[in-house]
A and B are shown apart, each in its own frame.
Chain A
Amino acid sequence: MKKALLGLVAIGLAGGMSGAIAAPEQDRQEFVNYYTKKYPNVKLDDYVYGALAFDADSKAQYDAIMEFPPFEGELEKGRKMLDTPFNNGKKYADCFPNGGKNIAGNYPYFDDKAGKVVTLHDAINACRVANGEEAYKVSDMKTMGLLSTALRAQSDGMLMNIKVEGAGANAAYEAGKKAFFSRKGQLNFACATCHVQNAGVRLRSELISPAVGHAVHWPVFRGGDNLVTLQNRYEGCYKQVRAVPPAQGSADMNNLEYFHSYLSNGLPMKANVFRK
């Protein structure tokens, strides 16, 4: 177990130097192999439930809560925002392929022309600006957060399908990977310290989730109706290890989301889930 981990960390660090095109898929396989070897009884499909996959009791409570989600009122607000036309009469649905349905698993993608990673939240803002509206702050849960609940929910069931093709995309992916494996903050944790090395292990009384399966289930509602987006959670992680978080929507955060999302390729999207 230790050897596998050391190998993974070594690959993570060395990966930055190799530019092989197949590297992302190899990485993903490596992650999956690592977790499934460590936890042969946990099904890969259940990784979308995060730490709940390791604890049947917590999963049963989750299932009960999800029958009547305590955040239904928030979802209603989000749906209203999504369906309300802009001042020019157009709607969000006009900006996205397939009317905005079954698309979230394609984000983030690397935009070769712009030379950067585009998250779904960036695309929402591009849509707003193109239609004469002001961009939302990506860190604002009352606007971008709520809207994203509705847009993402239209992709529930779609399989994550991140593509890393070309030099620019690979560089962004590698930057995200480097961020994932780099120690940060006064407490000296990398994302990998907890979500690879200690996935399925208790920190205090909390079970720690694996990185595979993370990216498919955002936003989450914590403790009832407290809306948290993926990058909002990244910010929380940075702060917990006493590091200064990069701004939400920055290239640093977007590259991390790009790498992190790739790890969940092939797993079903499911927006708006309860987490404690």
Chain B
Amino acid sequence: MRNFRLAMVASLTGMMVLTGNVLAADPPKKEETGKDNAYNRTKGNCLACHGMPTQPDAESTGLYGPPLIAMSARYPDKAKLRAQIWDATAFNPNSSMIPFGKHKVLTEQEIDKVTDFVYGL
């Protein structure tokens, strides 16, 4: 299973390299949205720990953290939500949540976009 995944990744990487070479005049890469960053497994990877009940494409979500729903009601102050994403351990030292800003897992700009996306859930 893991080998299969590795092979998939390898072949996908190969394909990307190939297209990169062949299509030198590629249009500039589309800017990543907050949702892109949230879903990306090497960036926010939010779904590893949180369900998103309002997002039909949020699949195989984990349960380390609570489902992300009605966020604007839970966080009337959006800045508080951003601070939670930036470093959850500041509010609860035992939080499992990655300090995305403090440890520079996401850039400040990416955190802004992710905050906007999550706030809308």
* Most central of A189, A194, A203, A276 by chain B CB within 10 Å: A203
The yes or no answer to A193 lying at the interface (CB within 8 A) is yes
With contact pairs A203-B48, A204-B48 given, residues A187 and B64 touching in the complex (Cβ less than 8 Å)? no
Residue of A nearest to B87 (CB): A188
B104 & A223 in contact (Cβ 8 Å cutoff) = no
B2 & A204 in contact (Cβ 8 Å cutoff) = no
Range for the number of chain A residues in contact with chain B = 20 to 34
Residue of B nearest to A194 (CB): B96
A187 & B48 in contact (Cβ 8 Å cutoff) = no
The residues in B between 1 and 27 inclusive whose CB is less than 8 angstroms from any CB of A are 1-4
How far, in angstroms, from A198 to B89 measured CA to CA in the complex?
16
Residue of B nearest to A10 (CB): B94
Chain B residues contacting A123 (CB-CB under 8 Å) are none
Interface of B, helix, strand, loop or mixed by DSSP: loop
A223 & B62 in contact (Cβ 8 Å cutoff) = no
B62 & A204 in contact (Cβ 8 Å cutoff) = yes
Chain A residues contacting B99 (CB-CB under 8 Å) are 188
How far, in angstroms, from A193 to B89 measured CA to CA in the complex?
12
B46 CB to nearest A CB, Å: 11
The yes or no answer to A5 lying at the interface (CB within 8 A) is yes
A189 & B63 in contact (Cβ 8 Å cutoff) = no
B62 & A203 in contact (Cβ 8 Å cutoff) = yes
Chain A residues contacting B63 (CB-CB under 8 Å) are 201-202
A197 & B104 in contact (Cβ 8 Å cutoff) = no
B61 & A204 in contact (Cβ 8 Å cutoff) = yes
With contact pairs A186-B103, A197-B94, A226-B2 given, residues A202 and B62 touching in the complex (Cβ less than 8 Å)? yes
Chain B residues contacting A204 (CB-CB under 8 Å) are 47-48, 60-62
Chain A residues contacting B47 (CB-CB under 8 Å) are 204
Chain B residues contacting A194 (CB-CB under 8 Å) are 96
B3 & A226 in contact (Cβ 8 Å cutoff) = yes
Interface size of B by CB at 8 A reads: 20
Chain B residues contacting A129 (CB-CB under 8 Å) are none
B103 & A187 in contact (Cβ 8 Å cutoff) = yes
B2 & A223 in contact (Cβ 8 Å cutoff) = yes
Contact check: which of A6, A201, A206, A226 meets B94 at CB < 8 Å?
A: A6
The yes or no answer to A37 lying at the interface (CB within 8 A) is no
How far, in angstroms, from A206 to B49 measured CA to CA in the complex?
11
The yes or no answer to B98 lying at the interface (CB within 8 A) is yes
The yes or no answer to B105 lying at the interface (CB within 8 A) is yes
The yes or no answer to A205 lying at the interface (CB within 8 A) is yes
With contact pairs A201-B63, A226-B3 given, residues A186 and B104 touching in the complex (Cβ less than 8 Å)? yes
Chain A residues contacting B105 (CB-CB under 8 Å) are 186-187
Chain A residues contacting B62 (CB-CB under 8 Å) are 201-206
How far, in angstroms, from A128 to B97 measured CA to CA in the complex?
45
How far, in angstroms, from A168 to B9 measured CA to CA in the complex?
46
- Render A222-255 as a binary contact track against B, CB cut-off 8 A, 1 for contact: 1110100000000000000000000000000000
**20 A–B pairs (Cβ distance < 8 Å), ordered by A:** A5-B94, A9-B94, A187-B98, A187-B103, A188-B98, A194-B96, A198-B64, A198-B96, A201-B62, A202-B64, A203-B48, A203-B62, A203-B64, A204-B60, A204-B61, A205-B60, A222-B2, A223-B1, A223-B2, A226-B2
Taking Cβ atoms with an 8 Å cutoff, the residues of A that contact B are 5-6, 9, 186-189, 193-194, 197-198, 201-206, 222-224, 226, 276
Known: A203-B49, A204-B62, A222-B2. 4 other contacts (CB 8 A): A6-B94, A203-B48, A204-B48, A206-B62
User: Sorted from nearest, which 7 A-B pairs have the closest CB atoms?
Assistant: A205-B60, A223-B2, A203-B62, A202-B63, A223-B1, A202-B62, A204-B48
